[in-house]
Amino acid sequence: MPRPIISNSTKCLLSRRSLLFSNQWRLLSRFHNSSRDISHHTRATTSAITALSFPKARHIIPAVPSSLNRREAHTIDSPSSPVVPEPYSPPTSGILSRLPKSWVPYAELIRIDKPTGTYYLYFPCLFSTLMAAPLATPTATPLSVISTSILFFAGALVMRGAGCSINDLWDRNLDKRVRRTRHRPLARGALTPFQALTYTGAQLLTGLAILLQFPTPCLFYGIPSLLFVASYPLAKRVTYYPQFVLGLTFSWGAVMGFPALGVDLLANSSALGAAALLYASNVSWTVLYDMIYAHMDIKDDAKAGIKSIALKHDADTKKVLTGLAVVQIGLLGAAGMAAGAGPAFFVGSCGGAALTLGWMIKRVNLKSVKDCWWWFVNGCWITGGVISLGLGADYLVRYVQDEQTTEATN
C-alpha cells in the first residue's frame, strides 16, 4: 500500500506540537521534584523544631491508668528509675491536727499520736506494782496501788518520748531510707539535731522530777535504765538481735514496782526472785511483739543495712515467736510462785497469756504490714490486759484475806 503523503506544513505543525508537549512534561517533572523537596524539607524542619522544643519527647511517659498510684506511674518510665517519695503532708486529723503548727514536729518526735509504745513501757510497771502489793508490809492499799500506777503512767509517757527522741537522733540518716520513717521530723529536716537534743534534755529532766516522787530507793533502781535507752539505737547496727536490747529497756519497770511500794529487794529474797523472773518474762514478751513489728520494715531494713531478728529468722519466725511465748509464760509463772501468788494469777495471767499469745501467733500475717501493725497495737491490750487482770484479781483476793486476818487478830 502506498504511504500517505504528508505535506511540509503538516510536518511543521506536528513538530511544534511535539515540542509543546515536551516542554509541558519537563515543567511537570520539575514541579513534582520541587514538591518532593519541599515535603522533605518541611518534614526535616518540623523534626528539628520538635527536637528543639521537646528534647526528650521520645522519653515521654505513656498515659497511666487511673488505678495506678503515683509511685507506679513514675516507675513506668524505666525499671531503673528512682522512686520519688510522696511529699510530707501535715496531719489533718487526730491530736496533731489540733496543735499549733510549730509544735507538730516536737509532738511527732515523741510519737504522741502513736501511744502504743507508751502502753508497752507501762505494762511492766503495772505488773510489778500488782505483784509487789501483797508483799509490802503491811499489804499495800488499793489507793496506794492506784496512785503508784498513775505515777508510773506519767513516767512511761515522758520516758517513752525521750527514748523516741534519742532513737531518732541516732537514726536520722537511716530513717530517710525507710519508707515508714522518712517523714519523721529529723529525717525530713523539720527539726535540727540541736533542737531535738535540747528537747530530749527537757524530757529527761521531767522524767527525773517524776522519779523523785517515788521513795528514794527508786532513784537508784531507775537511773541505770538510761544506759539501755541510749544503747538500743546502736544495737541495730551491730547485731541481728536489737530487740533483746529493747527488751532490757522496756522491761525495766518490772523491777520498779517493788521499791515503789516499799519492798526492799535486797532484804527480801522472794521479792528479788519474783522481780528478776518478772523482768526476764517481760524481756521475752518485748522481743516477741517487736519481732512482729520489725516485719513491717523488713524489706527496707535489708536495703538500708539495718539488722533485726525478723531478718535473721524470716523463714521460721512463727517458730521463734512460739518459743518466746513459752519462755515468757514459764518465767511469768515462776515469778508468781516466787511471790506466793494464788490460783487467780495462774489461771488469769498465765492461762490468759497462753491463749492470747497462741491466738496472735497463729493469726498474724507476717507478709502484711497492715496485719502486723494491727496485732502489734491490739496485742498490747489483749495480752497485757489479761496479765494485769490476773495479777489484779490475785492482789484483791490476798488483800481481802489479809484484812480479814487482821480483823480476826484484833
- Within a domain: 65: no
Give residue 291's domain range. Answer: 100-409
147 domain-assigned = yes
Q: Which residue has the higher pLDDT, 72 or 392?
A: 392
The pLDDT tens digits of the residues spanning 229-288 come to 877 777 877 888 888 988 999 999 999 999 999 999 999 999 999 999 999 999 999 999
Percent of the chain beyond pLDDT 90? 57
Q: Which three cell numbers stand for residue 328?
A: 515468757
| Calpha distance 174→181 (Å, rounded) | 9
Q: Which residues contact 333 (CB under 8 A, 6 or more apart)?
A: 346, 350
- Overall pTM surpassing 0.85 (yes/no): no
Residue 338 grid cell: 516466787
Residue 31, pLDDT > 50, answer: no
Please give the C-alpha separations between residue 128 and each of 8, 98, 103, 125, 147, in angstroms, as whole numbers: 137, 36, 35, 5, 14
- Is residue 7 situated within a structural domain? no
Residue 34 lies in a domain: no
In this structure, is residue 16 part of a structural domain? no
pLDDT at residue 60 tops 70: no
Q: What is the DSSP string of 43-88?
A: HHHHHHHHHHH-TTGGGPPPP--TTS-HHHHHHTS-TTPPPPPPPP
d(CA 122, CA 300): 29
Report CA-CA distances (Å) from 173 to 83, 234, 236, 246.
Answer: 18, 13, 14, 20
Which amino acid makes up residue 263? V
What mean pLDDT do residues 358-373 have? Answer: 94
Tens digits of per-residue pLDDT, 71-125? Answer: 333 333 333 334 456 788 888 888 999 999 999 999 999 999 999 999 999 999 9
C-beta neighbour count of 143 within 10 angstroms: 8
In a domain, 296, yes or no: yes
Specify which of 26-30, 293-297, 362-366 reaches the highest per-range mean pLDDT: 362-366
What's the burial of 240, exposed, middle or buried (CB within 10 Å: 0-12/13-18/19+)?
A: middle
Q: What is the pLDDT of residue 12?
A: 52
Helix axes of 193-211 and 142-171: crossing angle, nearest 10 degrees: 160
18 is a domain residue: no
Q: Name the more confident of 384 and 63.
A: 384
pLDDT number for residue 122:
97
41 by Cβ neighbours in 10 Å (0-12 / 13-18 / 19+) ranks as exposed
- Cα gap 65→77, rounded to integer Å: 14
Residue 91 maps to a domain: no
**pLDDT > 70: percent of the chain:** 79
Task: State the total domains in the chain.
Answer: 1
Number of separate helices (H) and strands (E) present in the chain: 19, 0
Instruction: Determine the pLDDT at residue 57.
Output: 37
For residue 394, give the CATH number of its domain: 1.10.357.140
Q: Which pLDDT value is given to residue 260?
A: 97
pLDDT digits over 182-230, tens only? 899 999 999 999 999 999 999 999 999 999 999 999 999 998 888 888 7
Average per-residue pLDDT for the chain: 82
Angstrom CA distances, 64 to 29, 55, 68, 82, 106, stand at: 49, 22, 7, 18, 39
CB count within 10 Å of CB 2 equals: 4
Supply the pLDDT for residue 30: 54
pLDDT band at 386 (very low <50, low <70, confident <90, very high): very high
Side-chain half-sphere of 81: how many Cα atoms within 13 Å?
A: 14
Residue 49 has pLDDT above 50, yes or no: no
Give the integer Cα–Cα distance in Å for 355 and 362. Answer: 11
Least confident of 9-13, 61-65, 93-97, 376-380: 61-65
Rounded distance, CA 383 to CA 115, Å?
Answer: 17
129 neighbors 149 (Cβ within 8 angstroms): yes
